[in-house]
Amino acid sequence: MMMLSAIRRRMTYANVAVTLALVFAMSGGAYAASRYVITSTKQISPKALKALKGSAGASGAQGPAGPAGPAGAQGPQGAAGPTGAAGAKGETGPPGKNGENGKNGTTGFAETLPSGETETGAWAVMNIPAKGFEVVSWGALSFPIPLGEPLPASSERYIGPEEGEHEPKQSQFIPSECKGNFENPGAASGHLCVFAREAEDMLPLVTFDFGKKESGNATVGKTGVGYRAFSKEAGVVNANGTWAVTAP
């Protein structure tokens, strides 16, 4: 009795709690030692997993759309697509406004032939003599564009048939101041060249300033020249050709 009384005096709440904790700890460790520790679902039988797996729940309502994210970086340019079919013709548009008037152009008319420029033309003469009279034929070469000043008599040259450049008599008769032939007449600066295409029974032309009253003034006038064609044998004079004059 004294022993029980002594034990009863030593038992407190704290001593009882510690003793129970020690008993449970020892019994739990022994229980765990006799069982496996599950660390993966592979250790569980598929049938058991199927039984444990619950049925799928119903889908919830769709939530509100979230805010738009920032724009992404631009991607590389894609390859060009095939050409599309031509579209239908559009309607005719309204008439446009009238443009501004252009500036007045020049007429192209020159009062006198510019220096170094050449103009050309044609000439012809034909005369049948009366019996017993010398044949003298008259004619004129008129310049479409007048010269600025008359040329001296020494500036005129006569080139007979086949005496132009690239013609049979060129090397012997053609003056150095005259270029070409009756098909393509030309003249050096300050000269008048008269080319004959044909000259039947005619002496070389005699020219004079046809723009002056006195025909004996043997110069090349500003507007052209007159000429006299004399027959060689008082026969039929038949001649024609071309001419060229170049302003000095």
What is residue 189's predicted lDDT score, i.e. its pLDDT?
Answer: 95
In 143-223, at which residue ranges do the beta strands (DSSP E only) sit?
A: 156-159, 178-181, 184-187, 191-200, 206-208
Count CB atoms within 10 A of the CB of residue 201. Answer: 18
C-alpha–C-alpha distance, residues 136 and 229, integer Å = 6
What is residue 194's predicted lDDT score, i.e. its pLDDT?
Answer: 92
Q: Express each pLDDT in 103-150 by its tens digit.
A: 765 556 678 999 999 999 998 887 766 555 556 677 788 899 999 999
Of 40-44, 75-79, 172-176, least confident by mean pLDDT is 40-44
What are φ and ψ of residue 234, in 5° steps? 55, 40
Q: For residue 123, which of 185, 212, 174, 168 has the smallest C-alpha distance?
A: 185
All structural domains of the chain with their residue ranges: 129-246
Question: What is the pTM assigned to this prediction?
Answer: 0.52
Q: Which pLDDT band, with edges at 50, 70 and 90, does 38 fall under?
A: low
Assess whether pLDDT exceeds 50 at residue 222.
Answer: yes
C-alpha–C-alpha distance, residues 248 and 151, integer Å = 9
C-alpha–C-alpha distance, residues 234 and 129, integer Å = 7
What is residue 131's predicted lDDT score, i.e. its pLDDT?
Answer: 57
- Token pair of 51, please? 């039984």
What is residue 190's predicted lDDT score, i.e. its pLDDT?
Answer: 95
Assess whether pLDDT exceeds 70 at residue 152.
Answer: yes
C-alpha–C-alpha distance, residues 228 and 206, integer Å = 5
